[in-house]
Amino acid sequence: PAEPEKVTLTPAVNPKRSVFPDYIICLEDGKKFKSLKRHLNVHYGLTPDEYRVKWGLKSDYPMVAPNYAAQRSALAKSSGLGRKPAAKSAKKVAAKRKA
């Protein structure tokens, strides 16, 4: 029986040179994106994990450009996201229990 040929995948760019501060280059087609997740799903039907496995990337390979991630993080922090609610004072809690 003939053995199936191994298909060697060739990325559009070198994976080591695909992450830049303002964009990430897709290894599938060489296009630049701030975020790859939607592009991969719409055009290739891949999840970020499937993409990483397909191209032999580390599990911490980013799907979002570093500067974009920092910008979104700053926006979330400025709007109060990611913080636990302030602890209620003991007096307010005691007053509610009496009522």
List Cα–Cα distances, 58 to 2, 5, 53, in angstroms: 33, 26, 8
- What pLDDT is stored for residue 72 in this prediction? 96
Q: What is the pTM of this model?
A: 0.73
CATH of 15-98, one of 3.40.630.10, 1.10.10.10, 3.40.190.10, 1.10.10.1550: 1.10.10.1550
Which residue do the tokens 């939607």 mark? 38
- What pLDDT is stored for residue 92 in this prediction? 63
Strand partners, 65: none
Chunked into runs of 10 residues, the chain (99 residues) has average pLDDT values of 68 94 97 98 97 96 97 95 74 62
- Tokens coding 23: 């964009």
- Tokens coding 15: 């994976």
- What pLDDT is stored for residue 94 in this prediction? 60
